[in-house]
Chain A
Amino acid sequence: MNIFTGIAFVFLAPLLGGLVAGFDRKISARLQGRIGPPLFQPFYDVGKLLQKENLVVRKSQRLYMEFFLVLIILTGAIFFSGGDLLLVIFAFTMAGVFFALGGYKASSPYSFIGAQREVLQMMSYEPAVMLAAVGMYMVTGSFQVADIVAYPQPLIFKLPGLFLAFFFILPIKFRKSPFDLATSHHAHQELVKGITTEFSGRTLALIEIAHWYEYIFVLGIGYLFFASNVWLGLVMTLVIFELLLVVDNATARVRWQAMLGSAWVVALIAGGLNIIYLMLLRG
């Protein structure tokens, strides 16, 4: 991992992320007994959004989403060039903050509630992500992504609890059921469209592209758990994604209290036990 993989991320992630999104819609449709849209549907959607009129409530709301996109790209670029995992998490949180601020700025009741829920979602996934970083450090002795990838064994054997906690919060990041509270791709009739209600045209296209970057980055974290072998890593990342889609189609949305509570409980119990185990192992 070096600066070139980071640059490759900047250019390839939107293509790959769009494909992931298309794959997602296709598989979801199949799980529901439908044929589903073409694989390239997300690209058509964004292409269309670029041709539409851009309605705004406030001119500045677009700026926040531009920051969101830039910070997501930065996050992924640091991650894929093998940088510091803590810095990555920090940049990722910043990106999320700008996304939520954009929702607040649009100041419609729907996007306002969506933004509040986005903040709650961020609170829900932070502990699991932080603990995962700590666990990876305890095993490999480094916060550098490059060193974590270079570790000879798959990390999953040492970090099963943290992996569970990570998988549990994955639906939040992919905006999937049961934790698709802020905005979702499937329930098209709730809270209008949550945080993205007031965004249309080019700005919405921008948000979609940012989500594609986000997808690849989050799958990249999943890859870290199996990183000792490239093929094992890629196959397992696909398996994780498939499982996520099954969960998405098999569950209903929960209230935010349940999301926050369960995400923290799983992170603290499964992740906490895992960390205690690592301490004993060292001790």
Chain B
Amino acid sequence: MGMLSRSPWVIHYDGSSCNGCDIEVLAALMPRFDVERFGVVNTGNPKHADIFLLTGSINEQNKPVVLNIYNQMPEPKVVLAVGICATSGGIFRECYNVLGGADKVLPVDVYVPGCSVRPEAIIDAVVKGVGILEEKRAALRNNLKSAVSQA
């Protein structure tokens, strides 16, 4: 197992949600589930984060915010859409201002359904995300190598 998968730092952003999923995200950090066992840290800084954990749907107002956070994260990075709101818009889908799920603006790597999503599912998603993180790093490396050999 590489270092990346032992220390995933997460940034959590709440789009347009009912807050149900956010409470479950925090529950995952609390003593009962304690995701820090796996080295997961909830950071508030996109520049330190490896995993972008997005809850809630995307609307016109938070679209630039979400993009801004994503663009500030250093490579390799993955995006988790947590909760049915983030995967498709959920119950807010029909609202006049809602664009839909996170994949309307970002390349989502892991979709986690549930309303609200359970802490176990969130932990599972982070573990999946970590695997993708490793793949992305390997891909970045290969790109770099081929770029060097071509030059």
List chain A positions with a Cβ less than 8 A from chain B: 25, 29, 32-38, 41, 44-45, 47-48, 50-55, 188-190, 192-193, 196-201, 204
The complex places the Cα of A35 from the Cα of B38 at a distance, in Å, of 10
Tell me whether B145 is interfacial, beta carbon within 8 Å.
no
CA distance A196 to B41 in the complex (A): 16
Q: How far is the CB of A24 from chain B (nearest CB, A)?
A: 13
- Chain A interface mostly: loop
Does B113 reach chain A (CB closer than 8 Å)? no
8 A Cβ contacts from B48-107 to A: 48, 50, 72, 74-76
- Decide if B3 touches A47 in the complex (CB within 8 Å): yes
- CB of B39 within 8 A of CB of A45, answer yes
Q: Which residue of A lies closest to B47 (CB)?
A: A200
Nearest-neighbour CB distance to chain A for B4, whole angstroms, equals 5
- In the complex, whether B34 has a CB less than 8 A from a CB of chain A is yes
Instruction: Provide a sorted-by-A list of 6 A–B residue pairs whose CB atoms are within 8 angstroms.
Output: A29-B34, A35-B37, A51-B137, A55-B74, A190-B44, A204-B48
Are B7 and A193 in contact (CB-based, < 8 A)? no
| Minimum Cβ distance to chain B for residue A46 (Å) | 8
Instruction: Kindly report which residue of chain B lies nearest to residue A43, judged by CB atoms.
Output: B3
Nearest chain A CB to B45 CB, angstrom units = 4
Contact across chains for B34 and A192 when beta carbons are under 8 A apart: no
Q: Is the CB of A29 within 8 A of B36?
A: yes
B42 at the interface (CB under 8 A from A): yes
Contact assessment for B39 and A193 in the assembled complex, using a CB-CB cutoff below 8 Å:
no
Q: Does A48 lie within 8 Å of B7, measured CB to CB? A: yes
A55 to B49, CA, bound (A): 12
Q: Are B7 and A44 neighbours in the complex by a CB distance under 8 Å?
A: yes
Q: Are B4 and A55 in contact (CB under 8 A)?
A: no
Given contacts A37-B37, A41-B39, contact A198 B47 (CB under 8 A): yes
Bound complex: CA of A32 vs CA of B74, how far in Å? 31
List chain B residues, Cβ under 8 A from A197.
45, 47
